[in-house]
Amino acid sequence: MIDSHCHLDHEPLLSNLSDVIKRSKDVGIKKLLTISTSLDSFARVKDIINIDEIIYGTIGIHPHETKENLVSSNTIVKNFNENKKIIGIGETGLDFYYNNSDRDKQIKSFNEHIIAAIETNAPLIIHSRNAEDDTFHILEKYKNNNLKILMHCFTGSKNFAEKLLNLNAFFSASGIITFKNSIELQEIFKFLPLNKILIETDSPFLTPVPNRGKKNEPSFIDHTAQKLAELKSISKSELIKITTDNFNKLFG
C-alpha cells in the first residue's frame, strides 16, 4: 500500500514518528508521501524524508497558508530540484469554504505551483473546497501542457469529476469514504475509473471508520482500502495493487 497524502510534520505524528513508521510497515505500507503546507512545513518535511527510506515529500503551500507564504514558481522549482526524495508539487489549490478574503492570493499561488509542476514534470497535488468552477477554469488553461493532476482527498461533485477526467486527472480517496453520511461521495468513487484512483489518509486528519475519535495515522489507510475495494467490487489485495501501480505511474 501507499499513503499518497499524509502530514508527518504535524502532531501527534511528528513526536511519534518511529512508532508511526513501524505501524505503517506492519500493515504493508511501502511508501509514505508527506505533504508540505507552508515554508515552515517544508523545512520539517526535508528532515523527515531522511528518517526512513519509505518516506517521500512534496514542496507546496496550502491555500490557507497563502496569506503569509506566497512563493514564486522559481522558488518551488529550486527546492524541488535540490532533493530527489521531493517528488510532488503541493499541496496547492483553492479553498473558499470559510472566506474569500485571500482569494486573489490563493489564485496567484495556485498558478505559480502549476507553472512549477509543468517545468519539473512533477505531479500537482490539488486541494479544492467550495471552488470547483475556479479550480477547473484555472486547470483548463493549462490543458495543453501535459499537467499531471492529483485531486487530493476528492470530495467534489460528479460533474467536477467528469470534467477533471477530461484533463487526465487522478483522484485520491481518503477516510471520508468510510463515513456513513458519505453516500454521494461513495457513488462518485464507484463511477471513477480504477486506473485513476489512489488512496490516502490525510493524517492526522479525517480518521476513517472504525477509528473515529482517534488521531489519524498512515496505518489506518487499511480501512480506507477495504472500503474502496467494496465500492469497486474487487478484493482488497487487488485494490491495493491497482492503487499502488497508479501511484508509481503518476509519480514515476
Q: Which three cell numbers stand for residue 156?
A: 467534489
pLDDT in the model for residue 70: 87
Q: What's the pTM value of the predicted model, to 2 decimals?
A: 0.96
| Per-run averaged pLDDT (10 residues), the chain, 252 residues | 98 97 98 97 98 98 91 97 97 87 91 98 97 97 97 97 98 98 97 98 97 96 98 98 98 93
pLDDT in the model for residue 67: 86
Inter-CA distances, 74 with 136, 141, 208, Å: 24, 20, 37
pLDDT in the model for residue 167: 97
Q: Which three cell numbers stand for residue 69?
A: 507564504
pLDDT in the model for residue 5: 98
Instruction: Give the DSSP per-residue string, 41-92.
Output: HHHHHHHHTTT-TTEEEEE---GGGTTT----HHHHHHHHHT-TTEEEEEEE
pLDDT in the model for residue 99: 64
Largest CA distance in the chain: 45
Cis peptide bond prior to 123, omega within 30° of 0: no
Angle at 155 between CA 151 and CA 241, to 5 degrees: 60
The distance of Cα 71 from the centroid of its chain, to the nearest Å, equals 20
Q: What is the CATH number of domain 2-251?
A: 3.20.20.140
Closest alpha carbon to 148 in 54, 224, 248: 248
pLDDT in the model for residue 121: 97
* Domain assignments of the chain as residue spans, ordered by start: 2-251
pLDDT in the model for residue 163: 98
Measure the CA–CA gap between 63 and 91, rounded to whole angstroms. Answer: 8
pLDDT in the model for residue 101: 63
Q: What are phi and psi of 6, to 5 degrees?
A: -140, 170
